[in-house]
Structure 1
Protein backbone atom coordinates (compact mmCIF):
# COMPACT_ATOMS: atom_id res chain seq x y z
CA UNK A 1 0.00 0.00 0.00
CA UNK A 2 1.29 3.48 -0.88
CA UNK A 3 0.54 6.43 1.44
CA UNK A 4 -1.53 9.23 -0.03
CA UNK A 5 -1.27 12.97 0.62
CA UNK A 6 -4.86 13.55 -0.35
CA UNK A 7 -6.82 15.50 2.30
CA UNK A 8 -9.18 12.60 2.94
CA UNK A 9 -6.34 10.17 3.67
CA UNK A 10 -5.73 9.13 7.28
CA UNK A 11 -2.03 9.16 6.37
CA UNK A 12 -1.97 12.90 5.65
CA UNK A 13 -1.85 14.20 9.26
CA UNK A 14 1.00 16.71 9.11
CA UNK A 15 1.58 16.39 12.87
CA UNK A 16 2.35 12.71 12.30
CA UNK A 17 4.90 12.46 9.48
CA UNK A 18 6.10 9.07 8.22
CA UNK A 19 9.36 7.58 9.40
CA UNK A 20 12.41 8.24 7.23
CA UNK A 21 13.57 4.68 6.60
CA UNK A 22 16.90 5.46 4.84
CA UNK A 23 17.88 7.82 7.66
CA UNK A 24 17.02 5.22 10.30
CA UNK A 25 19.05 2.57 8.51
CA UNK A 26 22.07 4.89 8.20
CA UNK A 27 21.91 5.66 11.91
CA UNK A 28 21.32 2.15 13.25
CA UNK A 29 22.72 -0.45 10.83
CA UNK A 30 26.41 0.06 11.53
CA UNK A 31 29.00 -2.73 11.04
CA UNK A 32 29.52 -3.08 14.81
CA UNK A 33 25.82 -2.74 15.70
CA UNK A 34 23.46 -5.36 17.08
CA UNK A 35 20.88 -4.27 14.51
CA UNK A 36 21.28 -6.05 11.18
CA UNK A 37 18.12 -5.06 9.28
CA UNK A 38 15.30 -2.55 9.66
CA UNK A 39 12.03 -2.64 7.77
CA UNK A 40 9.06 -0.30 8.09
CA UNK A 41 5.57 -1.25 6.90
CA UNK A 42 2.64 1.12 6.67
CA UNK A 43 0.14 -1.18 8.34
CA UNK A 44 0.08 -4.70 9.72
CA UNK A 45 -1.82 -6.74 12.23
CA UNK A 46 1.07 -7.31 14.62
CA UNK A 47 4.82 -6.81 14.20
CA UNK A 48 5.38 -9.59 16.73
CA UNK A 49 3.35 -12.05 14.69
CA UNK A 50 5.10 -11.02 11.47
CA UNK A 51 8.60 -11.27 12.90
CA UNK A 52 7.82 -14.56 14.66
CA UNK A 53 6.73 -16.04 11.33
CA UNK A 54 9.98 -14.90 9.75
CA UNK A 55 12.04 -16.32 12.64
CA UNK A 56 10.57 -19.77 12.17
CA UNK A 57 11.93 -19.75 8.59
CA UNK A 58 15.31 -18.48 9.72
CA UNK A 59 16.21 -14.92 10.69
CA UNK A 60 19.42 -13.10 11.57
CA UNK A 61 19.63 -11.70 15.08
CA UNK A 62 19.10 -7.97 15.20
CA UNK A 63 16.21 -7.77 12.73
CA UNK A 64 13.87 -4.85 13.46
CA UNK A 65 10.33 -4.53 12.11
CA UNK A 66 8.43 -1.28 12.57
CA UNK A 67 4.80 -0.54 11.68
CA UNK A 68 3.34 2.90 11.11
CA UNK A 69 0.06 1.35 12.23
CA UNK A 70 -0.90 -1.89 14.00
CA UNK A 71 -4.44 -3.14 13.58
CA UNK A 72 -4.19 -6.19 15.81
CA UNK A 73 -1.33 -5.46 18.18
CA UNK A 74 -1.19 -7.86 21.10
CA UNK A 75 -0.37 -7.45 24.75
CA UNK A 76 -0.34 -9.89 27.61
CA UNK A 77 -3.40 -12.10 28.10
CA UNK A 78 -4.26 -11.58 24.41
CA UNK A 79 -5.30 -7.98 24.99
CA UNK A 80 -5.41 -5.83 21.88
CA UNK A 81 -3.30 -2.73 21.30
CA UNK A 82 -4.56 -0.24 18.72
CA UNK A 83 -3.81 3.42 18.02
CA UNK A 84 -4.18 5.89 15.14
CA UNK A 85 -1.70 5.60 12.28
CA UNK A 86 1.70 7.18 12.99
CA UNK A 87 0.68 8.11 16.54
CA UNK A 88 3.20 5.86 18.25
CA UNK A 89 6.13 3.53 18.00
CA UNK A 90 5.12 -0.04 17.23
CA UNK A 91 8.06 -2.35 16.60
CA UNK A 92 9.54 -5.77 17.27
CA UNK A 93 13.11 -7.03 17.38
CA UNK A 94 14.55 -10.51 17.05
CA UNK A 95 17.15 -11.52 19.64
CA UNK A 96 19.07 -14.77 19.77
CA UNK A 97 21.03 -14.98 23.04
CA UNK A 98 22.25 -18.52 22.43
CA UNK A 99 25.18 -18.15 24.83
CA UNK A 100 22.82 -17.35 27.72
CA UNK A 101 21.06 -20.21 29.56
CA UNK A 102 17.42 -20.39 28.48
CA UNK A 103 16.37 -20.17 32.13
CA UNK A 104 17.59 -16.57 32.16
CA UNK A 105 15.74 -15.47 29.03
CA UNK A 106 12.82 -14.36 31.19
CA UNK A 107 14.80 -11.20 31.87
CA UNK A 108 14.44 -10.04 28.26
CA UNK A 109 11.11 -8.17 28.66
CA UNK A 110 12.32 -6.58 31.91
CA UNK A 111 15.63 -5.64 30.29
CA UNK A 112 13.68 -4.10 27.41
CA UNK A 113 11.66 -2.08 29.90
CA UNK A 114 14.86 -0.64 31.37
CA UNK A 115 16.12 0.16 27.88
CA UNK A 116 12.90 1.87 26.81
CA UNK A 117 12.68 3.91 30.02
CA UNK A 118 16.29 5.11 29.82
CA UNK A 119 16.05 5.76 26.09
CA UNK A 120 12.90 7.85 26.47
CA UNK A 121 14.36 9.78 29.40
CA UNK A 122 17.21 10.92 27.15
CA UNK A 123 15.24 11.61 23.98
CA UNK A 124 11.76 12.64 25.13
CA UNK A 125 12.64 14.04 28.54
CA UNK A 126 9.86 11.96 30.08
CA UNK A 127 10.27 10.04 33.32
CA UNK A 128 8.99 6.57 32.43
CA UNK A 129 8.29 4.14 35.25
CA UNK A 130 8.05 0.36 34.95
CA UNK A 131 5.05 -1.60 36.15
CA UNK A 132 5.93 -5.27 36.58
CA UNK A 133 6.11 -7.21 34.41
CA UNK A 134 5.79 -5.26 31.16
CA UNK A 135 3.95 -1.92 31.33
CA UNK A 136 5.45 1.53 30.76
CA UNK A 137 3.93 4.31 32.88
CA UNK A 138 4.12 8.10 32.60
CA UNK A 139 2.65 10.80 34.80
CA UNK A 140 0.09 13.12 33.24
CA UNK A 141 -1.26 16.33 34.79
CA UNK A 142 -4.78 16.33 36.11
CA UNK A 143 -7.19 17.10 33.29
CA UNK A 144 -5.07 15.38 30.63
CA UNK A 145 -6.86 12.65 28.80
CA UNK A 146 -9.98 11.05 30.19
CA UNK A 147 -10.05 11.57 33.98
CA UNK A 148 -11.33 8.87 36.27
CA UNK A 149 -14.40 9.51 38.42
CA UNK A 150 -13.33 11.27 41.61
CA UNK A 151 -9.79 11.97 40.42
CA UNK A 152 -8.34 14.82 42.50
CA UNK A 153 -4.57 14.37 42.28
CA UNK A 154 -2.37 16.86 40.37
CA UNK A 155 -0.89 13.99 38.42
CA UNK A 156 -1.48 10.31 37.87
CA UNK A 157 0.56 7.43 36.54
CA UNK A 158 -1.00 5.97 33.43
CA UNK A 159 0.02 3.41 30.84
CA UNK A 160 1.80 4.77 27.77
CA UNK A 161 3.28 1.55 26.48
CA UNK A 162 3.87 -2.14 26.86
CA UNK A 163 6.25 -4.96 26.03
CA UNK A 164 5.57 -8.50 24.83
CA UNK A 165 8.24 -11.20 24.48
CA UNK A 166 7.63 -14.49 22.66
CA UNK A 167 9.82 -17.48 21.83
CA UNK A 168 10.43 -17.75 18.10
CA UNK A 169 12.69 -20.25 16.38
CA UNK A 170 16.03 -20.24 18.16
CA UNK A 171 15.45 -16.89 19.79
CA UNK A 172 12.94 -14.40 21.14
CA UNK A 173 10.85 -11.71 19.48
CA UNK A 174 10.36 -8.70 21.74
CA UNK A 175 7.62 -6.26 20.79
CA UNK A 176 7.28 -2.69 22.05
CA UNK A 177 4.31 -0.35 21.73
CA UNK A 178 4.54 3.28 22.87
CA UNK A 179 1.85 5.95 22.59
CA UNK A 180 3.67 9.04 21.37
CA UNK A 181 1.27 11.71 20.07
CA UNK A 182 -2.15 10.38 21.09
CA UNK A 183 -4.44 13.27 21.92
CA UNK A 184 -6.82 13.22 24.87
CA UNK A 185 -9.83 12.33 22.75
CA UNK A 186 -7.94 9.42 21.14
CA UNK A 187 -7.04 7.61 24.35
CA UNK A 188 -8.59 4.13 24.47
CA UNK A 189 -9.20 4.15 28.24
CA UNK A 190 -8.93 6.36 31.35
CA UNK A 191 -5.81 4.41 32.32
CA UNK A 192 -3.99 5.32 29.10
CA UNK A 193 -1.65 8.19 28.27
CA UNK A 194 0.93 9.28 25.72
CA UNK A 195 4.33 10.90 25.78
CA UNK A 196 2.81 14.12 24.43
CA UNK A 197 0.29 14.29 27.26
CA UNK A 198 3.12 13.66 29.74
CA UNK A 199 4.94 16.77 28.47
CA UNK A 200 7.56 15.22 26.20
CA UNK A 201 10.15 17.71 24.94
CA UNK A 202 10.27 15.78 21.67
CA UNK A 203 7.74 13.57 19.92
CA UNK A 204 9.88 13.02 16.83
CA UNK A 205 9.45 9.28 16.37
CA UNK A 206 12.74 8.86 14.51
CA UNK A 207 14.68 10.39 17.39
CA UNK A 208 12.75 8.29 19.91
CA UNK A 209 13.20 5.05 17.96
CA UNK A 210 16.93 5.60 17.53
CA UNK A 211 17.29 6.36 21.23
CA UNK A 212 15.31 3.33 22.36
CA UNK A 213 17.10 0.89 20.03
CA UNK A 214 20.53 2.18 21.01
CA UNK A 215 19.57 1.86 24.66
CA UNK A 216 18.32 -1.69 24.07
CA UNK A 217 21.58 -2.57 22.33
CA UNK A 218 23.49 -1.27 25.36
CA UNK A 219 21.51 -3.13 28.02
CA UNK A 220 21.25 -6.33 26.00
CA UNK A 221 25.01 -6.26 25.49
CA UNK A 222 25.67 -5.85 29.21
CA UNK A 223 23.32 -8.70 30.04
CA UNK A 224 24.90 -11.06 27.50
CA UNK A 225 28.42 -10.18 28.61
CA UNK A 226 27.37 -11.21 32.12
CA UNK A 227 26.08 -14.54 30.83
CA UNK A 228 22.50 -13.49 31.49
CA UNK A 229 23.24 -12.75 35.16
CA UNK A 230 20.95 -9.77 35.69
CA UNK A 231 22.68 -8.73 38.92
CA UNK A 232 26.20 -8.82 37.46
CA UNK A 233 25.02 -6.99 34.33
CA UNK A 234 23.36 -4.23 36.36
CA UNK A 235 19.93 -5.00 34.90
CA UNK A 236 18.33 -6.16 38.15
CA UNK A 237 19.39 -3.02 40.02
CA UNK A 238 18.30 -0.74 37.17
CA UNK A 239 14.92 -2.41 36.88
CA UNK A 240 14.27 -2.20 40.63
CA UNK A 241 15.26 1.48 40.65
CA UNK A 242 12.72 2.30 37.93
CA UNK A 243 9.94 -0.04 39.02
CA UNK A 244 6.79 1.76 40.19
CA UNK A 245 5.38 -1.50 41.55
CA UNK A 246 7.94 -1.99 44.32
CA UNK A 247 6.90 -0.76 47.76
CA UNK A 248 3.20 -0.72 46.91
CA UNK A 249 0.30 -2.85 47.95
CA UNK A 250 -0.80 -4.80 44.91
CA UNK A 251 -3.32 -7.38 43.88
CA UNK A 252 -1.97 -10.10 41.63
CA UNK A 253 -4.43 -11.86 39.37
CA UNK A 254 -2.74 -15.19 38.76
CA UNK A 255 -3.18 -17.81 36.06
CA UNK A 256 -6.12 -20.06 36.88
CA UNK A 257 -8.22 -17.25 38.33
CA UNK A 258 -6.47 -17.04 41.71
CA UNK A 259 -5.65 -13.70 43.34
CA UNK A 260 -3.01 -12.72 45.86
CA UNK A 261 -2.66 -9.42 47.74
CA UNK A 262 0.50 -8.14 49.38
CA UNK A 263 3.30 -5.60 49.30
CA UNK A 264 5.61 -5.75 46.31
CA UNK A 265 8.86 -6.25 48.18
CA UNK A 266 11.52 -7.10 45.61
CA UNK A 267 12.51 -8.31 42.16
CA UNK A 268 14.45 -11.54 42.62
CA UNK A 269 17.37 -12.93 40.61
CA UNK A 270 14.96 -14.61 38.18
CA UNK A 271 13.00 -11.43 37.49
CA UNK A 272 10.07 -12.56 39.62
CA UNK A 273 8.05 -10.13 41.72
CA UNK A 274 8.23 -11.05 45.41
CA UNK A 275 5.10 -10.26 47.41
CA UNK A 276 5.08 -9.99 51.20
CA UNK A 277 1.61 -11.13 52.29
CA UNK A 278 -0.33 -10.42 55.47
CA UNK A 279 0.41 -13.98 56.53
CA UNK A 280 4.11 -13.17 56.61
CA UNK A 281 4.89 -15.21 53.52
CA UNK A 282 7.14 -14.21 50.64
CA UNK A 283 5.52 -15.25 47.38
CA UNK A 284 7.61 -15.00 44.17
CA UNK A 285 5.44 -14.47 41.08
CA UNK A 286 6.70 -15.38 37.62
CA UNK A 287 3.46 -14.29 35.91
CA UNK A 288 0.33 -12.39 36.77
CA UNK A 289 -1.74 -9.29 36.10
CA UNK A 290 -0.82 -6.67 38.70
CA UNK A 291 -3.13 -3.96 40.03
CA UNK A 292 -1.54 -1.18 42.09
CA UNK A 293 -3.85 -0.72 45.09
CA UNK A 294 -2.05 2.41 46.27
CA UNK A 295 -0.86 4.53 43.40
CA UNK A 296 1.31 7.63 43.55
CA UNK A 297 -1.68 9.93 43.29
CA UNK A 298 -4.25 7.69 44.89
CA UNK A 299 -6.55 5.19 43.25
CA UNK A 300 -5.76 2.11 41.24
CA UNK A 301 -3.46 1.48 38.28
Structure 2
Protein backbone atom coordinates (compact mmCIF):
# COMPACT_ATOMS: atom_id res chain seq x y z
CA UNK A 1 0.00 0.00 0.00
CA UNK A 2 3.02 2.29 0.23
CA UNK A 3 4.28 4.73 -2.41
CA UNK A 4 7.80 5.71 -1.35
CA UNK A 5 9.70 8.88 -2.29
CA UNK A 6 13.30 9.39 -1.16
CA UNK A 7 15.11 12.68 -0.70
CA UNK A 8 18.69 13.42 0.29
CA UNK A 9 17.78 16.11 2.82
CA UNK A 10 14.78 17.88 4.25
CA UNK A 11 13.92 19.82 7.37
CA UNK A 12 11.18 17.44 8.52
CA UNK A 13 9.60 14.48 6.77
CA UNK A 14 6.48 14.94 8.91
CA UNK A 15 6.10 18.57 7.79
CA UNK A 16 6.60 17.59 4.16
CA UNK A 17 4.05 14.77 4.28
CA UNK A 18 1.58 17.02 6.12
CA UNK A 19 1.84 19.49 3.24
CA UNK A 20 1.31 16.66 0.75
CA UNK A 21 -1.78 15.62 2.71
CA UNK A 22 -3.20 19.13 2.49
CA UNK A 23 -2.74 18.88 -1.27
CA UNK A 24 -4.78 15.66 -1.54
CA UNK A 25 -1.96 13.10 -1.49
CA UNK A 26 -3.39 9.58 -1.13
CA UNK A 27 -3.10 7.28 1.82
CA UNK A 28 0.12 5.30 1.62
CA UNK A 29 2.31 8.25 0.61
CA UNK A 30 5.72 7.77 2.27
CA UNK A 31 8.72 10.10 2.45
CA UNK A 32 12.20 8.92 3.46
CA UNK A 33 15.11 11.33 4.03
CA UNK A 34 18.80 10.51 4.25
CA UNK A 35 19.22 13.56 6.48
CA UNK A 36 16.59 15.44 8.46
CA UNK A 37 17.85 18.82 9.61
CA UNK A 38 14.96 19.96 11.82
CA UNK A 39 13.27 16.81 13.01
CA UNK A 40 10.67 17.19 15.72
CA UNK A 41 9.56 14.99 18.54
CA UNK A 42 6.56 15.24 20.80
CA UNK A 43 5.94 18.75 22.23
CA UNK A 44 8.20 20.20 19.49
CA UNK A 45 11.38 18.74 20.96
CA UNK A 46 14.16 18.66 18.39
CA UNK A 47 15.76 15.52 17.00
CA UNK A 48 18.90 15.37 14.87
CA UNK A 49 21.33 12.67 13.74
CA UNK A 50 24.35 12.48 11.44
CA UNK A 51 23.42 12.16 7.75
CA UNK A 52 22.89 8.61 6.53
CA UNK A 53 22.84 6.95 9.94
CA UNK A 54 19.14 6.80 10.81
CA UNK A 55 15.89 5.80 9.20
CA UNK A 56 13.79 8.98 9.07
CA UNK A 57 10.43 8.27 7.46
CA UNK A 58 6.85 9.53 7.53
CA UNK A 59 3.70 7.68 6.44
CA UNK A 60 0.40 9.28 5.38
CA UNK A 61 -2.66 7.50 6.79
CA UNK A 62 -6.33 8.27 6.15
CA UNK A 63 -8.37 6.07 8.54
CA UNK A 64 -11.69 7.68 7.59
CA UNK A 65 -13.64 4.55 8.58
CA UNK A 66 -12.37 4.66 12.17
CA UNK A 67 -14.05 6.97 14.73
CA UNK A 68 -11.69 9.87 15.59
CA UNK A 69 -12.05 9.00 19.28
CA UNK A 70 -9.96 5.89 18.55
CA UNK A 71 -7.20 7.67 16.63
CA UNK A 72 -5.10 8.21 19.80
CA UNK A 73 -4.23 4.52 19.47
CA UNK A 74 -2.29 5.23 16.26
CA UNK A 75 1.03 6.09 18.00
CA UNK A 76 0.70 2.77 19.81
CA UNK A 77 -0.07 0.95 16.54
CA UNK A 78 3.07 2.45 15.02
CA UNK A 79 5.11 1.58 18.10
CA UNK A 80 4.10 -2.08 17.92
CA UNK A 81 4.94 -2.11 14.19
CA UNK A 82 8.41 -0.64 14.86
CA UNK A 83 9.10 -3.25 17.55
CA UNK A 84 7.86 -5.97 15.19
CA UNK A 85 10.12 -4.71 12.39
CA UNK A 86 13.22 -4.49 14.58
CA UNK A 87 12.73 -8.05 15.76
CA UNK A 88 12.04 -9.25 12.22
CA UNK A 89 15.31 -7.94 10.77
CA UNK A 90 17.65 -8.21 13.76
CA UNK A 91 16.20 -10.59 16.33
CA UNK A 92 16.43 -7.79 18.90
CA UNK A 93 13.44 -7.57 21.25
CA UNK A 94 12.64 -3.87 21.44
CA UNK A 95 10.32 -2.52 24.11
CA UNK A 96 7.92 0.42 24.07
CA UNK A 97 7.90 3.35 26.45
CA UNK A 98 4.43 4.89 26.55
CA UNK A 99 3.48 6.86 24.54
CA UNK A 100 6.01 7.18 21.73
CA UNK A 101 9.52 5.79 22.33
CA UNK A 102 11.08 2.49 21.30
CA UNK A 103 13.75 1.11 23.63
CA UNK A 104 16.47 -1.50 23.70
CA UNK A 105 17.08 -2.10 27.37
CA UNK A 106 16.67 1.34 28.93
CA UNK A 107 18.12 3.19 25.92
CA UNK A 108 16.13 4.97 23.22
CA UNK A 109 16.31 3.38 19.78
CA UNK A 110 13.50 5.27 18.04
CA UNK A 111 10.99 8.04 18.48
CA UNK A 112 7.51 8.27 16.98
CA UNK A 113 5.54 11.42 16.18
CA UNK A 114 1.94 11.06 15.02
CA UNK A 115 0.11 14.24 13.96
CA UNK A 116 -3.39 14.94 12.66
CA UNK A 117 -3.69 17.13 9.57
CA UNK A 118 -6.78 18.82 8.15
CA UNK A 119 -7.07 18.50 4.39
CA UNK A 120 -9.62 19.02 1.64
CA UNK A 121 -10.15 15.25 1.61
CA UNK A 122 -10.86 15.16 5.34
CA UNK A 123 -8.59 14.72 8.34
CA UNK A 124 -5.46 12.65 7.83
CA UNK A 125 -2.66 11.34 10.02
CA UNK A 126 1.08 11.66 9.50
CA UNK A 127 3.08 9.00 11.33
CA UNK A 128 6.79 9.77 11.59
CA UNK A 129 9.51 7.41 12.79
CA UNK A 130 13.13 8.25 13.53
CA UNK A 131 15.12 5.09 14.18
CA UNK A 132 18.86 4.92 14.94
CA UNK A 133 20.48 2.37 12.62
CA UNK A 134 24.26 2.66 12.13
CA UNK A 135 25.51 5.23 14.67
CA UNK A 136 28.34 4.37 16.99
CA UNK A 137 27.89 5.19 20.66
CA UNK A 138 29.93 8.36 20.22
CA UNK A 139 27.36 9.63 17.70
CA UNK A 140 24.36 9.10 19.96
CA UNK A 141 22.88 11.38 22.61
CA UNK A 142 22.99 10.31 26.25
CA UNK A 143 20.58 7.44 26.74
CA UNK A 144 20.47 6.55 23.04
CA UNK A 145 21.26 3.33 21.20
CA UNK A 146 21.37 2.25 17.56
CA UNK A 147 20.87 -1.14 15.96
CA UNK A 148 24.58 -1.23 15.18
CA UNK A 149 25.61 -0.42 18.75
CA UNK A 150 23.19 -3.14 19.91
CA UNK A 151 25.13 -5.62 17.77
CA UNK A 152 22.99 -5.76 14.61
CA UNK A 153 24.51 -5.51 11.13
CA UNK A 154 21.59 -4.19 9.10
CA UNK A 155 20.98 -1.37 6.64
CA UNK A 156 18.32 1.33 6.61
CA UNK A 157 16.59 -0.13 3.55
CA UNK A 158 16.18 -3.48 5.29
CA UNK A 159 14.59 -1.75 8.29
CA UNK A 160 12.34 0.35 6.03
CA UNK A 161 11.09 -2.72 4.17
CA UNK A 162 10.31 -4.53 7.41
CA UNK A 163 8.64 -1.46 8.91
CA UNK A 164 6.42 -1.00 5.87
CA UNK A 165 5.36 -4.65 6.03
CA UNK A 166 4.70 -4.63 9.78
CA UNK A 167 2.90 -1.28 9.79
CA UNK A 168 0.63 -2.35 6.93
CA UNK A 169 -0.28 -5.50 8.84
CA UNK A 170 -0.96 -3.76 12.17
CA UNK A 171 -2.73 -0.74 10.66
CA UNK A 172 -4.96 -2.86 8.41
CA UNK A 173 -5.94 -5.08 11.33
CA UNK A 174 -6.72 -2.02 13.46
CA UNK A 175 -8.90 -0.52 10.71
CA UNK A 176 -10.77 -3.76 10.09
CA UNK A 177 -11.62 -3.78 13.80
CA UNK A 178 -12.99 -0.24 13.52
CA UNK A 179 -10.09 1.03 15.60
CA UNK A 180 -11.07 -1.17 18.54
CA UNK A 181 -7.83 -2.30 20.23
CA UNK A 182 -9.56 -4.62 22.67
CA UNK A 183 -8.21 -7.86 21.29
CA UNK A 184 -4.96 -8.50 19.43
CA UNK A 185 -3.49 -4.99 19.31
CA UNK A 186 -4.00 -4.17 22.97
CA UNK A 187 -2.41 -7.47 24.01
CA UNK A 188 0.52 -6.92 21.62
CA UNK A 189 1.10 -3.43 23.01
CA UNK A 190 0.88 -4.49 26.65
CA UNK A 191 3.31 -7.35 26.00
CA UNK A 192 5.90 -4.93 24.59
CA UNK A 193 5.30 -1.97 26.90
CA UNK A 194 8.17 -1.47 29.36
CA UNK A 195 6.24 1.30 31.14
CA UNK A 196 3.59 -1.01 32.55
CA UNK A 197 4.11 -2.45 36.04
CA UNK A 198 6.79 0.16 36.81
CA UNK A 199 6.54 3.05 39.23
CA UNK A 200 6.39 6.27 37.18
CA UNK A 201 6.25 10.02 37.61
CA UNK A 202 4.13 11.93 35.09
CA UNK A 203 4.81 15.65 34.92
CA UNK A 204 1.83 17.59 33.58
CA UNK A 205 1.47 21.13 32.20
CA UNK A 206 1.34 23.74 34.94
CA UNK A 207 3.62 21.76 37.26
CA UNK A 208 1.17 19.08 38.42
CA UNK A 209 2.66 15.63 39.06
CA UNK A 210 1.11 12.17 39.12
CA UNK A 211 3.16 9.40 40.69
CA UNK A 212 2.30 5.75 41.07
CA UNK A 213 2.44 2.41 39.32
CA UNK A 214 1.65 2.27 35.58
CA UNK A 215 -1.15 -0.29 35.58
CA UNK A 216 -2.64 -0.40 32.10
CA UNK A 217 -3.43 1.35 28.84
CA UNK A 218 -7.14 2.12 28.54
CA UNK A 219 -9.36 1.74 25.42
CA UNK A 220 -8.48 5.32 24.39
CA UNK A 221 -4.72 4.65 24.51
CA UNK A 222 -4.23 6.59 27.75
CA UNK A 223 -1.99 5.45 30.58
CA UNK A 224 -3.68 4.34 33.81
CA UNK A 225 -1.56 5.11 36.87
CA UNK A 226 -2.45 3.59 40.22
CA UNK A 227 -1.73 6.25 42.85
CA UNK A 228 -2.19 6.36 46.60
CA UNK A 229 -5.48 8.19 45.96
CA UNK A 230 -6.75 5.80 43.30
CA UNK A 231 -6.35 5.38 39.53
CA UNK A 232 -5.47 8.45 37.44
CA UNK A 233 -5.70 8.41 33.63
CA UNK A 234 -3.34 10.57 31.53
CA UNK A 235 -3.25 11.03 27.76
CA UNK A 236 -0.14 11.61 25.65
CA UNK A 237 -1.12 15.25 25.17
CA UNK A 238 -1.36 15.73 28.94
CA UNK A 239 2.18 14.61 29.77
CA UNK A 240 5.27 16.83 29.56
CA UNK A 241 7.62 14.13 30.89
CA UNK A 242 7.11 10.54 31.98
CA UNK A 243 9.91 8.91 33.94
CA UNK A 244 10.41 5.68 35.81
CA UNK A 245 11.21 6.32 39.46
CA UNK A 246 12.88 4.28 42.15
CA UNK A 247 10.60 2.17 44.26
CA UNK A 248 10.17 3.59 47.78
CA UNK A 249 12.08 1.79 50.52
CA UNK A 250 10.02 -0.64 52.51
CA UNK A 251 10.59 -0.82 56.25
CA UNK A 252 12.37 -3.94 57.39
CA UNK A 253 10.56 -6.22 59.79
Give the corresponding residue for 1:264. Answer: 214
Asked if 1:52 corresponds to 2:5, the answer is no
Give the corresponding residue for 2:102. Answer: 136
Unaligned 5+ segments in structure 1 are: 1-33, 140-156, 296-301
Asked if 1:285 corresponds to 2:251, the answer is no
CA–CA separation in structure 2 for the residues paired with 1:46 and 1:40: 13
Give the corresponding residue for 1:112. Answer: 78
Please state whether the residue corresponding to 2:206 is helix, strand or coil. Answer: coil
**Cα distance, 1:294 vs structure 2:** 4.2
C-alpha contact (below 8 Å) 1:248/1:294 kept by paired residues: no
CA–CA separation in structure 1 for the residues paired with 2:206 and 2:55: 33
CA–CA separation in structure 1 for the residues paired with 2:116 and 2:195: 26
C-alpha contact (below 8 Å) 1:161/1:177 kept by paired residues: yes
**Cα distance, 1:256 vs structure 2:** 2.7
C-alpha contact (below 8 Å) 1:104/1:228 kept by paired residues: yes
TM-score under structure 1 normalisation? 0.78
Please state whether the residue corresponding to 1:246 is helix, strand or coil. Answer: coil
Asked if 1:177 corresponds to 2:127, the answer is no
In terms of fraction of residues, the more helix-rich structure is: 2
CA–CA separation in structure 2 for the residues paired with 1:94 and 1:294: 39
Structure of higher CA gyration radius: 1
Please state whether the residue corresponding to 2:72 is helix, strand or coil. Answer: helix
CA–CA separation in structure 2 for the residues paired with 1:44 and 1:258: 37
**Cα distance, 1:46 vs structure 2:** 0.4
* RMSD of aligned alpha carbons: 1.2
C-alpha contact (below 8 Å) 2:202/2:209 kept by paired residues: yes
Please state whether the residue corresponding to 1:52 is helix, strand or coil. Answer: helix
- How many aligned residue pairs are there? 240
**Cα distance, 1:53 vs structure 2:** 1.0
Sort the Cα spacing of 1:294 and 1:182 in 2 relative to 1 into closer, same or farther, 3 A. farther
**Equivalent runs, 1:14-163 vs 2, <5 Å:** 34-35=1-2, 37-139=3-105, 157-163=106-112
C-alpha contact (below 8 Å) 2:134/2:155 kept by paired residues: no
TM-score under structure 2 normalisation? 0.92
C-alpha contact (below 8 Å) 1:130/1:136 kept by paired residues: yes
Give the corresponding residue for 1:17. Answer: none
